[in-house]
Amino acid sequence: MRKEEKTRLRREKIITAALFEFATKGYQGFVINELCKVDGISKGVLYHNFSGKSDLYLTCFQDMNINYHRFWI
């Protein structure tokens, strides 16, 4: 598997896990350390892809919005 593909898959894994956490705990209840611990994501990989909680939240929202439009439009 090429490096670009691995990077894309890791990023998708983070977004999928974060979507679940945001949906169940809300923005205030979401803790990056817990996400990393539960889903086996290293903090280094997470912070390499996202600048922090708000960046991850916005990315999740954009991803959800894109998928919604693909499905319905």
Q: What is the pLDDT of residues 16-29, one digit of tens each?
A: 999 999 999 999 99
pLDDT value for 46: 95
DSSP string, 17-45: HHHHHHHHHHHHH--HHHHHHHHT--HHH
- Residue 67 CB contacts under 8 Å (≥ 6 apart), including other chains: none
* CA gap 41, 14 in Å, rounded: 7
Torsion of CA 15, 66, 72, 10, to 10 degrees: -30
Q: What is the pLDDT of residues 33-56, one digit of tens each?
A: 999 998 899 999 999 999 999 999
pLDDT value for 47: 96
Q: Is the pTM of this model over 0.95?
A: no
- Delimit the domains of the chain by residue range: 3-72
| Superfamily for domain range 3-72 | Tetracycline Repressor, domain 2 (1.10.357.10)
